[in-house]
Amino acid sequence: MTHKPLREQVIVITGASSGIGLATARMAAERGARVVLAARSGEVLAQVATELGPKAAYVVADVGRREDVRAIADKAVATFGGFDTWVNVAGLTVYGPLSEIAYEDHQRLIQTNLWGTVNGSLVAAEHLRQRGGALINVGSIASDLAFPFQGLYATSKHAVKGFTDTLRMELIAEGAPVSVTLVKPASIDTPLPNRARNYMDRQPTLPPPIYPPEEVANAILHAAVHPQRDIVVGGGGKLFVMGKEFAPGAYDELAPAIIALQKRSEPPRDPQGALHAPRHAGEVRGDPPVYVMRTSAYTRATLHPLATAGVLAAGLAATAAVILGTRSRPRHR
Protein backbone atom coordinates (compact mmCIF):
# COMPACT_ATOMS: atom_id res chain seq x y z
CA MET A 1 0.00 0.00 0.00
CA THR A 2 1.26 3.46 -0.91
CA HIS A 3 -0.33 6.81 -0.30
CA LYS A 4 -0.37 10.28 -1.84
CA PRO A 5 2.81 12.36 -1.87
CA LEU A 6 3.08 14.60 1.18
CA ARG A 7 2.48 17.74 -0.86
CA GLU A 8 -1.00 16.41 -1.70
CA GLN A 9 -1.89 15.33 1.82
CA VAL A 10 -3.80 16.77 4.76
CA ILE A 11 -2.23 15.55 7.99
CA VAL A 12 -3.80 15.70 11.46
CA ILE A 13 -1.30 15.80 14.33
CA THR A 14 -2.25 15.61 18.01
CA GLY A 15 0.17 16.79 20.67
CA ALA A 16 1.30 19.42 18.17
CA SER A 17 2.24 22.13 20.67
CA SER A 18 5.65 20.71 21.63
CA GLY A 19 8.21 17.99 21.09
CA ILE A 20 7.68 15.36 18.41
CA GLY A 21 4.25 16.70 17.47
CA LEU A 22 5.52 20.21 16.83
CA ALA A 23 8.58 18.93 14.94
CA THR A 24 6.32 16.80 12.75
CA ALA A 25 3.93 19.67 12.04
CA ARG A 26 6.73 21.96 10.91
CA MET A 27 8.42 19.29 8.81
CA ALA A 28 5.13 18.30 7.16
CA ALA A 29 4.36 21.92 6.26
CA GLU A 30 7.88 22.41 4.90
CA ARG A 31 7.35 19.40 2.64
CA GLY A 32 4.12 20.85 1.26
CA ALA A 33 1.43 19.14 3.34
CA ARG A 34 -1.53 20.93 4.88
CA VAL A 35 -1.76 20.31 8.60
CA VAL A 36 -4.40 20.31 11.31
CA LEU A 37 -2.81 20.83 14.70
CA ALA A 38 -4.38 19.75 17.98
CA ALA A 39 -3.30 20.16 21.61
CA ARG A 40 -4.48 21.71 24.87
CA SER A 41 -2.28 24.82 24.53
CA GLY A 42 -4.37 27.21 22.44
CA GLU A 43 -1.99 30.16 22.45
CA VAL A 44 0.92 28.04 21.26
CA LEU A 45 -1.19 26.44 18.52
CA ALA A 46 -2.30 29.87 17.31
CA GLN A 47 1.33 31.00 17.08
CA VAL A 48 2.38 27.87 15.20
CA ALA A 49 -0.57 28.16 12.80
CA THR A 50 0.39 31.77 12.09
CA GLU A 51 3.98 30.68 11.48
CA LEU A 52 2.90 27.97 9.01
CA GLY A 53 0.39 30.17 7.18
CA PRO A 54 -2.77 29.20 5.27
CA LYS A 55 -1.75 25.55 5.02
CA ALA A 56 -2.36 25.15 8.78
CA ALA A 57 -5.45 25.01 10.97
CA TYR A 58 -5.70 24.21 14.67
CA VAL A 59 -8.09 22.93 17.30
CA VAL A 60 -7.76 23.24 21.08
CA ALA A 61 -8.52 19.72 22.25
CA ASP A 62 -7.99 17.24 25.06
CA VAL A 63 -7.50 13.91 23.31
CA GLY A 64 -8.77 12.08 26.38
CA ARG A 65 -12.25 13.35 25.50
CA ARG A 66 -13.89 11.66 22.50
CA GLU A 67 -15.97 14.75 21.67
CA ASP A 68 -12.80 16.86 21.46
CA VAL A 69 -11.21 14.37 19.11
CA ARG A 70 -14.27 14.33 16.89
CA ALA A 71 -14.03 18.13 16.75
CA ILE A 72 -10.50 17.75 15.34
CA ALA A 73 -11.80 15.58 12.51
CA ASP A 74 -14.66 17.99 11.88
CA LYS A 75 -12.17 20.87 11.64
CA ALA A 76 -10.12 18.98 9.04
CA VAL A 77 -13.23 18.29 6.97
CA ALA A 78 -14.53 21.85 7.24
CA THR A 79 -11.17 23.46 6.41
CA PHE A 80 -9.55 21.10 3.91
CA GLY A 81 -12.30 18.67 2.91
CA GLY A 82 -10.93 15.80 4.99
CA PHE A 83 -7.58 14.27 5.90
CA ASP A 84 -5.23 11.61 4.52
CA THR A 85 -3.02 10.87 7.54
CA TRP A 86 -3.79 11.01 11.25
CA VAL A 87 -0.87 11.01 13.71
CA ASN A 88 -1.48 10.35 17.42
CA VAL A 89 1.45 11.92 19.26
CA ALA A 90 -0.08 13.42 22.43
CA GLY A 91 1.43 11.94 25.57
CA LEU A 92 2.89 12.73 28.97
CA THR A 93 4.72 10.86 31.70
CA VAL A 94 5.00 10.61 35.48
CA TYR A 95 8.28 9.95 37.30
CA GLY A 96 8.31 8.12 40.61
CA PRO A 97 7.69 4.77 42.34
CA LEU A 98 4.32 3.24 41.50
CA SER A 99 3.42 3.00 45.18
CA GLU A 100 3.76 6.76 45.70
CA ILE A 101 1.86 8.07 42.68
CA ALA A 102 -1.65 9.41 43.34
CA TYR A 103 -4.54 7.61 41.70
CA GLU A 104 -5.67 10.74 39.87
CA ASP A 105 -2.20 11.04 38.29
CA HIS A 106 -2.31 7.41 37.15
CA GLN A 107 -5.78 8.00 35.76
CA ARG A 108 -4.87 11.19 33.90
CA LEU A 109 -1.82 9.62 32.27
CA ILE A 110 -3.82 6.63 31.01
CA GLN A 111 -6.60 8.96 29.83
CA THR A 112 -4.15 10.90 27.67
CA ASN A 113 -1.66 8.28 26.51
CA LEU A 114 -3.98 5.32 25.97
CA TRP A 115 -7.49 6.72 25.59
CA GLY A 116 -6.18 9.64 23.55
CA THR A 117 -4.69 7.14 21.10
CA VAL A 118 -7.84 5.00 21.12
CA ASN A 119 -10.08 8.02 20.53
CA GLY A 120 -7.90 9.40 17.75
CA SER A 121 -7.49 6.03 16.04
CA LEU A 122 -11.18 5.15 15.99
CA VAL A 123 -12.28 8.59 14.80
CA ALA A 124 -9.56 8.59 12.13
CA ALA A 125 -10.35 5.06 10.95
CA GLU A 126 -14.01 5.97 10.50
CA HIS A 127 -12.99 8.69 8.03
CA LEU A 128 -10.12 6.83 6.36
CA ARG A 129 -12.21 3.74 5.60
CA GLN A 130 -13.98 5.80 2.96
CA ARG A 131 -11.03 7.84 1.72
CA GLY A 132 -7.98 5.66 2.29
CA GLY A 133 -4.86 6.81 4.08
CA ALA A 134 -2.53 6.30 7.00
CA LEU A 135 -2.99 6.03 10.74
CA ILE A 136 0.26 6.51 12.67
CA ASN A 137 0.46 5.99 16.43
CA VAL A 138 3.51 7.07 18.39
CA GLY A 139 4.34 4.47 20.99
CA SER A 140 7.79 4.04 22.49
CA ILE A 141 10.45 1.43 23.09
CA ALA A 142 8.52 1.37 26.38
CA SER A 143 5.92 -0.51 24.31
CA ASP A 144 8.37 -3.42 24.62
CA LEU A 145 10.33 -2.53 27.76
CA ALA A 146 9.48 -1.70 31.36
CA PHE A 147 11.06 1.40 32.91
CA PRO A 148 11.09 1.62 36.71
CA PHE A 149 9.99 5.06 37.92
CA GLN A 150 8.02 5.47 34.67
CA GLY A 151 5.80 2.46 35.28
CA LEU A 152 2.47 3.89 34.15
CA TYR A 153 4.09 5.40 31.05
CA ALA A 154 5.40 1.95 30.09
CA THR A 155 1.99 0.46 30.91
CA SER A 156 0.25 2.94 28.62
CA LYS A 157 2.69 2.32 25.78
CA HIS A 158 2.34 -1.46 26.11
CA ALA A 159 -1.43 -0.93 25.83
CA VAL A 160 -1.03 1.36 22.80
CA LYS A 161 0.93 -1.40 21.06
CA GLY A 162 -1.75 -4.01 21.78
CA PHE A 163 -4.51 -1.70 20.62
CA THR A 164 -2.65 -0.65 17.46
CA ASP A 165 -1.83 -4.22 16.48
CA THR A 166 -5.45 -5.28 17.00
CA LEU A 167 -6.90 -2.38 15.03
CA ARG A 168 -4.48 -3.08 12.17
CA MET A 169 -5.63 -6.71 12.00
CA GLU A 170 -9.30 -5.75 12.03
CA LEU A 171 -8.80 -3.24 9.22
CA ILE A 172 -6.96 -5.87 7.18
CA ALA A 173 -9.77 -8.35 7.79
CA GLU A 174 -12.38 -5.95 6.43
CA GLY A 175 -10.22 -4.91 3.49
CA ALA A 176 -10.06 -1.25 4.52
CA PRO A 177 -7.58 0.90 2.51
CA VAL A 178 -5.89 2.10 5.72
CA SER A 179 -2.28 1.48 6.75
CA VAL A 180 -1.50 1.37 10.47
CA THR A 181 2.00 2.13 11.72
CA LEU A 182 3.38 2.08 15.26
CA VAL A 183 6.42 4.34 15.70
CA LYS A 184 8.54 3.41 18.72
CA PRO A 185 11.07 6.10 19.65
CA ALA A 186 13.92 5.57 22.05
CA SER A 187 14.95 8.52 24.26
CA ILE A 188 14.23 11.69 22.28
CA ASP A 189 15.40 15.24 22.99
CA THR A 190 12.01 16.80 23.74
CA PRO A 191 10.61 18.72 26.75
CA LEU A 192 8.88 15.52 27.98
CA PRO A 193 10.90 15.24 31.24
CA ASN A 194 10.47 18.95 32.00
CA ARG A 195 6.69 18.70 31.51
CA ALA A 196 6.34 15.49 33.54
CA ARG A 197 4.61 15.07 36.89
CA ASN A 198 7.58 14.34 39.14
CA TYR A 199 7.64 12.55 42.50
CA MET A 200 11.43 12.20 42.62
CA ASP A 201 13.82 14.35 44.63
CA ARG A 202 15.73 15.23 41.46
CA GLN A 203 14.88 16.80 38.12
CA PRO A 204 14.04 13.98 35.67
CA THR A 205 15.84 13.21 32.44
CA LEU A 206 15.95 10.45 29.82
CA PRO A 207 18.51 7.63 29.71
CA PRO A 208 21.04 7.84 26.86
CA PRO A 209 21.48 7.49 23.96
CA ILE A 210 19.20 10.40 23.08
CA TYR A 211 18.11 11.17 19.52
CA PRO A 212 16.77 14.39 17.90
CA PRO A 213 12.98 14.78 17.50
CA GLU A 214 13.41 15.39 13.78
CA GLU A 215 14.35 11.70 13.40
CA VAL A 216 10.92 10.73 14.70
CA ALA A 217 9.19 13.34 12.55
CA ASN A 218 10.99 12.04 9.47
CA ALA A 219 9.93 8.46 10.28
CA ILE A 220 6.31 9.54 10.77
CA LEU A 221 6.18 11.37 7.45
CA HIS A 222 7.86 8.47 5.68
CA ALA A 223 5.11 6.16 6.98
CA ALA A 224 2.48 8.62 5.75
CA VAL A 225 3.58 7.84 2.18
CA HIS A 226 5.34 4.46 2.45
CA PRO A 227 3.64 2.52 5.25
CA GLN A 228 5.60 0.23 7.52
CA ARG A 229 4.17 -1.88 10.32
CA ASP A 230 6.61 -0.75 13.02
CA ILE A 231 9.44 1.76 13.05
CA VAL A 232 11.93 1.94 15.91
CA VAL A 233 13.64 5.32 16.10
CA GLY A 234 17.10 4.97 17.59
CA GLY A 235 19.44 2.02 17.20
CA GLY A 236 20.29 2.18 20.89
CA GLY A 237 16.66 1.57 21.75
CA LYS A 238 16.55 -1.42 19.39
CA LEU A 239 19.56 -2.92 21.16
CA PHE A 240 17.85 -2.49 24.55
CA VAL A 241 14.73 -4.27 23.27
CA MET A 242 16.78 -7.11 21.75
CA GLY A 243 18.79 -7.48 24.95
CA LYS A 244 15.65 -7.68 27.06
CA GLU A 245 14.15 -10.32 24.77
CA PHE A 246 17.36 -12.35 24.90
CA ALA A 247 17.89 -12.07 28.66
CA PRO A 248 14.84 -10.64 30.46
CA GLY A 249 16.13 -11.56 33.90
CA ALA A 250 19.38 -9.71 33.30
CA TYR A 251 17.42 -6.66 32.12
CA ASP A 252 15.40 -6.71 35.36
CA GLU A 253 18.64 -6.52 37.34
CA LEU A 254 19.45 -3.23 35.62
CA ALA A 255 16.64 -1.51 37.56
CA PRO A 256 18.92 0.51 39.92
CA ALA A 257 21.00 1.77 36.99
CA ILE A 258 17.92 2.67 34.94
CA ILE A 259 16.47 4.63 37.87
CA ALA A 260 19.77 6.49 38.34
CA LEU A 261 19.95 7.37 34.64
CA GLN A 262 16.56 9.09 34.91
CA LYS A 263 17.75 11.57 37.56
CA ARG A 264 19.69 14.76 37.04
CA SER A 265 21.88 16.18 39.79
CA GLU A 266 19.63 19.24 40.32
CA PRO A 267 16.46 19.46 42.43
CA PRO A 268 13.00 19.37 40.80
CA ARG A 269 12.02 22.49 38.82
CA ASP A 270 8.26 22.05 38.52
CA PRO A 271 7.00 18.80 40.09
CA GLN A 272 3.39 19.36 38.96
CA GLY A 273 4.32 19.49 35.28
CA ALA A 274 1.72 19.58 32.53
CA LEU A 275 -0.15 16.39 33.39
CA HIS A 276 -3.39 18.03 34.46
CA ALA A 277 -3.09 21.42 32.75
CA PRO A 278 -1.14 22.68 29.71
CA ARG A 279 2.18 24.23 30.74
CA HIS A 280 5.65 24.71 29.27
CA ALA A 281 4.50 24.10 25.67
CA GLY A 282 5.95 25.65 22.53
CA GLU A 283 9.40 24.01 22.42
CA VAL A 284 10.55 21.16 20.22
CA ARG A 285 13.66 20.26 22.23
CA GLY A 286 14.51 19.89 25.88
CA ASP A 287 17.81 20.40 27.67
CA PRO A 288 19.29 16.94 28.35
CA PRO A 289 22.56 16.93 30.32
CA VAL A 290 24.18 14.46 27.90
CA TYR A 291 25.13 14.42 24.24
CA VAL A 292 22.29 14.17 21.70
CA MET A 293 22.93 11.99 18.66
CA ARG A 294 22.77 13.80 15.32
CA THR A 295 20.83 11.06 13.49
CA SER A 296 19.98 7.38 13.76
CA ALA A 297 21.69 5.42 11.00
CA TYR A 298 19.71 2.35 12.07
CA THR A 299 16.36 4.10 11.62
CA ARG A 300 17.33 5.66 8.30
CA ALA A 301 18.28 2.19 7.06
CA THR A 302 14.98 0.62 8.15
CA LEU A 303 13.04 3.30 6.27
CA HIS A 304 14.70 2.26 3.02
CA PRO A 305 15.19 -1.51 3.33
CA LEU A 306 15.60 -2.17 -0.40
CA ALA A 307 18.33 0.43 -0.72
CA THR A 308 19.98 -0.93 2.40
CA ALA A 309 19.78 -4.48 1.03
CA GLY A 310 21.35 -3.24 -2.20
CA VAL A 311 24.25 -1.64 -0.38
CA LEU A 312 24.70 -4.77 1.72
CA ALA A 313 24.58 -6.99 -1.38
CA ALA A 314 27.15 -4.80 -3.13
CA GLY A 315 29.39 -4.96 -0.08
CA LEU A 316 29.10 -8.73 0.12
CA ALA A 317 29.79 -9.05 -3.60
CA ALA A 318 32.88 -6.87 -3.32
CA THR A 319 34.10 -8.88 -0.34
CA ALA A 320 33.49 -12.14 -2.20
CA ALA A 321 35.33 -10.81 -5.25
CA VAL A 322 38.35 -9.95 -3.12
CA ILE A 323 38.35 -13.38 -1.49
CA LEU A 324 37.89 -15.25 -4.75
CA GLY A 325 40.44 -13.10 -6.49
CA THR A 326 42.97 -13.79 -3.79
CA ARG A 327 42.34 -17.51 -3.99
CA SER A 328 42.64 -17.59 -7.80
CA ARG A 329 45.96 -15.83 -7.96
CA PRO A 330 48.85 -18.12 -8.89
CA ARG A 331 51.29 -18.65 -6.10
CA HIS A 332 54.89 -17.63 -6.77
CA ARG A 333 57.45 -20.18 -5.75
Task: Flag whether pLDDT at 169 surpasses 70.
Answer: yes
**Contact call for residues 144 and 161 (beta carbons, < 8 A):** yes
**155 and 118 in a common domain:** yes
Over residues 64-89, mean pLDDT: 98
Question: Would 310 be classed as within a structural domain?
Answer: yes
**324 and 290 in a common domain:** no
Task: Flag whether pLDDT at 330 surpasses 70.
Answer: no
**27 and 128 in a common domain:** yes
pLDDT given for residue 307 in this prediction: 53
**73 and 48 in a common domain:** yes
What one-letter code names the amino acid at 13?
A: I
By three-state DSSP, how is residue 264 classified? coil
**243 and 110 in a common domain:** yes
The predicted-structure confidence for 228-243, as pLDDT tens digits, reads as follows 999 999 999 999 999 9
Q: How many domains does the chain have?
A: 2
Calpha distance 262→258 (Å, rounded): 7
**116 and 84 in a common domain:** yes
Question: Would 49 be classed as within a structural domain?
Answer: yes
**315 and 273 in a common domain:** no
**165 and 183 in a common domain:** yes
Residue 28's domain spans which residues? 6-295
Task: Flag whether pLDDT at 322 surpasses 50.
Answer: no
Question: Would 1 be classed as within a structural domain?
Answer: no
Question: Would 108 be classed as within a structural domain?
Answer: yes
Polymer length of the chain: 333
pLDDT given for residue 2 in this prediction: 84
Average pLDDT over the chain, rounded to an integer: 93
Choose, from 58, 95, 103, 153, the residue flagged as catalytic.
153
**278 and 309 in a common domain:** no
pLDDT given for residue 194 in this prediction: 97
Q: Does the annotation mark 95 as catalytic? A: no
Calpha distance 205→187 (Å, rounded): 9
**330 and 216 in a common domain:** no
Q: What is the pTM of this model?
A: 0.91
